[in-house]
């Protein structure tokens, strides 16, 4: 090349776009940018360039610049349109969900794709100025800082306050940033950052009473612009990890727009989560109320309440604790998220609980402990007790009843009774309880108190009903006994009259039998000695040998029948005297003999063994004692008759039946046992055999009053004892003990 002509190609974008001027153009005040050069070479010889040639190249340079401006403007318009389209899509995705983590992840991914950056993170503040990276989007996995412990010791409160104005801060090159101190530069180098842009995530909280915290909230940002009602929730951060970057205004504008949408989404999801939590609390409260109103099963109602609280509050452990008279107690129900946190059936008596605490809980106190390690109002005794359970945070509300221990209604609050406590525990981590959560606990505790009161009143009413039913049964039994006694009294009077008349006739017969026997013996002797012809004819005619042999037998039979009639008359007279209530001195053996005689017809095929020792007389009511013994014997006979026949060749079902009766004297008591080898009494019904109207017989086979009457006569009437031993193989033994004297 021997000569050349060079014409610059410059672009003036400000005239075309009206904005987006570079920092250099703004600094020089030209608004132009050197795009390139238009060069003409003369290679073989020197050349003097003419004005017309220079003008021609200048015109060509201008046309090229125009074409280039159009191409770049078209590309910028397309890029801007693409960004706006992606931005609208991102905003639509953000607004279509209430899942905060999904929203933040979508936003971070969209920002990285729109800006073509190395890494985009969303940083959320915790206590003080610390925080965590909650989501990220990276171009390559080696740049990931998610789940990494990050602490920016250079980030101070004045630095953070600048973000509350909504300013987007950026640095093109951390090595050529005069305002960046060495502390921040070293921190960014540790994260492989060469350039960054940061947009604040600012929300405008709408505080409600139910969302107020009982302790400082770790989820709330520490910086607040109180005049504007703004809170700094976190930061949307864009990192360049490969090289520096000249951030364009449109880049920062896009980051700001997405960050604004993220802030709106954060606030919406917070409102949605609060509404959902409130709905869950209200649903749990309705379910508890429905459970309590639909059932009088107190353990089931308490368990349902504990399960509802544990589910809604997502607590580690929920217990319902009941006090005893000494302010100790036990856990009656619990609901735990892990089995190892169970304290049911363990000794968890709180020796630190003071009597004056009860009055506070009766007045509606809700005790919240957000962290046992930092709660200054917690004494060492309680701190050690909670640490042993283990417990890190707790909320406690009293279960206060308006009835006392006896079920009586309490008219004034000072008479309220602290039945127990509803306790919620976080076992591993601290927890900041909200007003809405404590309100739920108070409402659930009120419903638990209602359930306990209903159960107490129901149990008391049931006991009263059972006592009333027992009284009615006793009255009915008494009425039946009075009616039976009246009937027996009438029958006894009639039997006494009949016995008297029969006894008169029988006495006439019995008294003349001796004379009749004497007369007949004389006649027979006279006929034996007579040997005349007439006497012989008479003997032959009357069959004298037969009469001589049979007539004594006839007299003996008449005498036996008369004695039998006398025994019957004696029994009727004894029956006539059975309604006497005065005590008499009798021998129990005579009473038993009378009972056996009355049942001779039922004992024809039953072997009765009597083992009677010489016994003293007993002071008792003979009629009642005979009635009791008769009821026991009747049951023994019925049991033998109900036993299947073990001998297939025999038609008698009770051929092998046996009743053993023993009488013994022991230290001022007479002990009687009546043992049968019948079918026995099943273990399932044995405790009820002395209950009124209870019977194991078929319908119509018994009244269920026999053994009940025996129990009343022996135990209640004579101060004795009665019991039963029974097996299916060996039958039943009824044991009766009577005191010798009633004094």
Give residue 200's pLDDT band: very low, low, confident or very high (50, 70, 90): very high
Tell me how many degrees the CA angle 350-355-357 measures, rounded to the nearest 5. 80
pLDDT tens, residue by residue, 589-603 = 888 888 888 888 888
The Cα–Cα gap between 121 and 123 comes to 6
pTM, 2 dp: 0.50
- Pull the structure tokens for residue 411: 């008219």
78-87, 159-168, 416-425, 560-569: range with highest mean pLDDT: 416-425
**Whether the predicted pLDDT of 495 surpasses 50:** yes
More confident residue, 629 or 571: 629
According to the model, what pLDDT value does residue 123 have? 92
Query: Which range is least confidently modeled, 14-23, 74-83, 280-289, 518-527?
Result: 14-23
**Whether the predicted pLDDT of 22 surpasses 60:** no
Please name which of 530, 555, 728 lies closest in space to residue 643, comparing C-alpha atoms. Answer: 728
C-alpha dist (Å) from residue 120 to 106, 168, 239, 556, 599: 11, 15, 6, 132, 106
Specify the 3-state DSSP secondary structure of 452: helix
According to the model, what pLDDT value does residue 489 have? 67
Mean pLDDT of the region 620-638: 86
pLDDT over 90 for what percent of the chain? 15
C-alpha dist (Å) from residue 114 to 108, 139, 240, 398, 592: 10, 12, 14, 57, 112
pLDDT tens, residue by residue, 316-361 = 999 999 988 877 888 999 999 999 999 988 877 777 776 667 788 8
**Whether the predicted pLDDT of 623 surpasses 60:** yes
According to the model, what pLDDT value does residue 209 have? 52
Mean pLDDT of the region 21-38: 61
């Amino acid at each position: 090349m021997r000569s050349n002509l060079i014409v610059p190609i410059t672009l003036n974008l400000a005239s075309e776009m009206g904005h987006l001027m570079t920092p250099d153009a703004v600094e020089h005040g030209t608004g132009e940018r050197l795009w390139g050069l238009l060069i003409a070479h003369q290679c073989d010889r020197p050349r003097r360039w003419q004005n017309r040639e220079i003008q021609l190249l200048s015109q060509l340079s201008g046309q090229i610049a125009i074409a280039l401006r159009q191409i770049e403007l078209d590309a910028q318009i397309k890029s801007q349109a693409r960004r706006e389209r992606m931005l609208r899509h991102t905003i639509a995705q953000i607004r279509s969900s209430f899942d905060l983590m999904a929203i933040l992840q979508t936003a971070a991914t969209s920002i990285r794709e729109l800006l073509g950056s190395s890494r985009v993170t969303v940083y959320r503040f915790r206590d003080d100025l610390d925080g965590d990276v909650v989501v990220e989007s990276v171009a390559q996995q080696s740049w990931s800082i998610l789940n990494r412990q990050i602490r920016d010791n250079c980030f101070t409160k004045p630095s953070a306050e600048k973000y509350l104005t909504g300013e987007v801060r950026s640095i093109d090159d951390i090595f050529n940033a005069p305002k960046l101190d060495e502390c921040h530069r070293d921190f960014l180098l540790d994260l492989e950052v060469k350039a960054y842009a940061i947009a604040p995530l600012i929300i405008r909280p709408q505080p409600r009473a139910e969302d107020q915290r009982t302790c400082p909230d770790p989820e709330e940002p520490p910086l607040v612009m109180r005049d504007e009602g703004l809170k700094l929730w976190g930061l949307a951060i864009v990192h360049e990890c490969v090289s520096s970057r000249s951030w364009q205004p449109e880049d920062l504008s896009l980051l700001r727009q997405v960050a604004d949408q993220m802030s709106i989404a954060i606030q919406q999801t917070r409102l949605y989560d609060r509404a959902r939590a409130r709905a869950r609390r209200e649903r749990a409260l309705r379910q508890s109320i429905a459970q309590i109103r639909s059932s009088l099963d107190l353990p089931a109602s308490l368990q349902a309440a504990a399960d509802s609280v544990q589910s809604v509050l997502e607590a580690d452990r929920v217990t319902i604790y009941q006090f005893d008279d000494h302010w100790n107690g036990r856990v009656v129900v619990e609901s735990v998220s892990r089995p190892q946190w169970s304290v049911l059936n363990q000794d968890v008596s709180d020796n630190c609980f003071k009597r004056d605490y009860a009055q506070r809980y009766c007045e509606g106190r809700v005790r919240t402990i957000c962290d046992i390690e930092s709660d200054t109002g917690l004494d060492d005794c309680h701190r050690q007790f909670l640490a042993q359970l283990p417990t890190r945070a707790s909320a406690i509300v009293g279960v206060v009843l308006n009835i006392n221990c006896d079920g009586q209604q309490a008219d004034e609050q000072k008479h309220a009774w602290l039945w127990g406590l509803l306790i919620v525990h976080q076992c591993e981590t601290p927890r900041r309880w909200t007003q809405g959560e404590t309100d739920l606990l108070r409402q659930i505790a009120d419903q638990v108190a209602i359930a306990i009161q209903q159960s107490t009143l129901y149990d008391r009413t049931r006991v009263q009903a059972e006592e009333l039913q027992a009284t009615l049964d006793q009255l009915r039994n008494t009425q039946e006994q009075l009616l039976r006694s009246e009937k027996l009294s009438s029958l006894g009077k009639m039997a006494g009259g009949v016995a008297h008349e029969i006894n008169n006739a029988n006495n006439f017969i019995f008294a003349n039998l001796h004379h009749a026997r004497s007369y007949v013996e004389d006649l027979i002797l006279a006929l034996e000695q007579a040997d005349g012809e007439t006497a012989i004819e008479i003997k032959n005619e009357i069959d004298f040998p037969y009469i001589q042999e049979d007539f004594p037998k006839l007299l003996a039979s008449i005498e036996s029948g008369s004695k039998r009639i006398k025994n019957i008359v004696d029994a009727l007279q004894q029956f006539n005297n059975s309604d006497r209530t005065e005590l008499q001195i009798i021998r129990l053996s005579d009473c038993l003999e009378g009972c056996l005689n009355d049942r001779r017809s039922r004992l024809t095929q039953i072997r009765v063994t009597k083992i009677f020792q010489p016994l003293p007389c007993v002071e008792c009511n003979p009629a009642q004692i005979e009635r009791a013994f008769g009821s026991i014997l009747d049951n023994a006979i019925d049991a033998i008759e109900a036993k299947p026949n073990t001998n297939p060749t025999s038609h008698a079902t009770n051929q092998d039946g046996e009743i053993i009766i023993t009488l013994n004297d022991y230290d001022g008591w007479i002990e009687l046992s009546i043992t049968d080898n019948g079918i026995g009494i099943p273990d399932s019904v044995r405790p009820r055999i002395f209950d009124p109207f209870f019977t194991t017989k078929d319908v119509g086979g018994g009244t269920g009053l026999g053994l009940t009457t025996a129990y009343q006569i022996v135990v209640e009437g004579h101060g004795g004892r009665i019991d039963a031993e029974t097996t299916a193989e060996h039958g039943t033994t009824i044991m009766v003990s009577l005191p010798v004297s009633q004094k």
